[in-house]
Amino acid sequence: MRAESRLSWLAVAAGSALCAAVAAVGADARWLAALGEAVSRAGHIPSSIPYAAAQSQDWVNVPVLGELVFHWLQAAGGDRALIAAQAVAVALTLTVLLRDMRAGGANDGARALVIVVIPFAAVSAFFIVRAQLFSLPLFVLMALLLRAETRNPSRRIWLLIPFVALWSNLHGAVLTGLSVITVYLLLERFRFERRTAIGVLLASWTALFATPALAETGDYYLGVLHSEPAASGFGLWAPLSLEQPLDVVFIAFVIPLVWVALREAPRLWEFVCVVLLGLATVHAGRNSIWLLLFVAVPAACGLHVRDVAKTRGALLAAAWAVPLVLLVAGFTRTPAQAVAGPALRAKAEDVAHGRPILADAENAEQLAVDGRQVWIANPIDAFSLVDQRAYLDWLSGSPGGDSLLQQNDVVLVDVGSAPQRRLAGRNDFREVARDSAAVLYRRVS
């Protein structure tokens, strides 16, 4: 390791180790393992959601490779393996960013400062395991290639085609990546290599369809973008808000980074991408991570931070104890219980007597991983808009979701959640059992 880059690598190690120490499995994660298990067991891709009773016939399943990877991780070590995979993804993401910053000319102090900021500005993306785990390193790899091609155009640009095909089989954020690629090709590469730009552009968008669904891949992405959560701004699709603490933290960090990045007069394609990603972030907070990762490199290149003097070498060596301690803590800790425990889930199955269980997002996904039948669960876009709307109303504690209670006799919900508070005030359901995370209800005979 070169002396002038020690601080940068320390920042990468600290961010990755912190992820291993505090990350948790969130909603929009376990359903991939459940579907991956179904695909692996059946030997083919089911045309509906096998663990849900609500109608999902003819759903187009695109990210099958991502589902299989999550299944293998879940089978290998459960939540521990998923958290370890998240830590690896974060480590790869920060390492690629460091490489891109060095190629852009950012000094060690600037690189370290920006890398330290990123995990705290993107808490939900870095410290909560979700399906976007794959897209974190893939997005920064794409940006690294595009910036390298901006400095020194070459035939490597054709690597985008297999890259997009792989990404499309893992996670839907490939659409964001393709948008950035399109801007680069039209505003940068097209100026001096028109045939190459058009060829790569058409081939990259064609590669989006290199999935098991083939021509129907577009139906999958349209279904996601026009789902009820996306249309109503629910959950991960909620717009950026000053009422959300994590959004406020993100805004506080990203505004200075964007200002420094734009102050350095970036190339036109980079400027347009910052604007588009900024608008996407305002529309849906889940897009904030892509804006943050994109501006990190030009921001580091625009900062002028004095490098740590060589006389501080001993201090830097001692500081490595921090990520090492975090890493040990991460791989020895028991993941926090965020869903109903095994005993309560078994009790729910016993009470249900083979009937579907109505459960909120994470509990429904965990029941699906267990092989139990639920009424509806992620991926929510697989179901009719009527069922999606009723489920979201129920999750919000709205009376519009009561129709689901008329169809289901057994309900499993998080302690203190909106549906749990509503159930507690009803006379037609009574509490059967609970643990530290969830409460089980059954209809009164």
Q: What is the pLDDT of residues 157-169, one digit of tens each?
A: 999 999 999 999 9
> Would you state the pLDDT for residue 383?
94
- Per the CB < 8 A criterion, the answer to whether 235 and 229 are in contact is yes
Are residues 319 and 285 in contact, defined by beta-carbon separation less than 8 angstroms?
Answer: no
| 80 CB neighbour count, 10 Å cutoff | 17
Domain positions in the chain: 3-302, 342-443
Q: pLDDT, tens digit, for every residue of 119-162?
A: 999 999 999 999 999 999 999 999 999 999 999 999 999 999 99
Three-state SS at 29: coil
Beta carbons of 13 and 115 less than 8 angstroms apart: no
Query: What tens digit of pLDDT does each residue of 36-77 get?
Result: 999 999 899 988 999 999 998 788 999 999 999 999 999 998
Residue 4 pLDDT greater than 60, yes or no: no
Q: How confident is the model at residue 180 (pLDDT cuts 50, 70, 90)?
A: very high
Position 320 scores a pLDDT of 63
Q: How far from 167 is each of 172, 176, 205, CA to CA, in Å? A: 8, 11, 12
- Give me the phi and psi of 25, to 5 degrees please: -85, 125
| Strand 358-359 to 128-129 pairing | unpaired
Residue 90 has pLDDT above 90, yes or no: yes
Q: What is the mean pLDDT of residues 16-21?
A: 88
Residue with tokens 């393992």: 33
Strand ranges (E), 38-181: 128-129
pLDDT of residue 177: 97
Are 109 and 305 in contact, with CB atoms under 8 Å apart?
Answer: yes
CA Rg value for the chain: 23
Average pLDDT over residues 203-211: 97
**Cβ-based neighbours of 271, under 8 Å, separated by 6 or more:** 262
Q: Alpha-carbon dihedral of residues 369, 374, 379, 384, nearest 10 degrees?
A: 160
Residues 166-188 as b or e (16 or more Cβ within 10 Å = b):
ebbbbbbbbebbbebbbbbbebb
| β-bridge mates for residue 412, sequence order | 359, 440
Q: What is the pLDDT of residue 308?
A: 54
Q: How confident is the model at residue 5 (pLDDT cuts 50, 70, 90)?
A: low
State the average pLDDT over residues 83-94.
Answer: 94
Task: Give the pLDDT band of residue 330 (cuts 50, 70, 90).
Answer: low
The pLDDT score that the predictor gives to residue 94 is 96
Number of Cβ atoms within 10 Å of the Cβ of 136? 24
C-alpha to C-alpha distance for 234 and 392, rounded to whole angstroms: 8
Query: By 3-state DSSP, what share of the chain in percent is helix, strand and coil, each rounded to 5?
Result: 70, 5, 25
Which pLDDT value is given to residue 224?
A: 92
Give 153 or 264, the one with higher predicted confidence.
153
- pLDDT of amino acid 40: 93
Tell me the C-alpha distance between 29 and 76, whole Å.
15
Rounded mean pLDDT, 376-390: 93
Is pLDDT of 286 > 70? yes
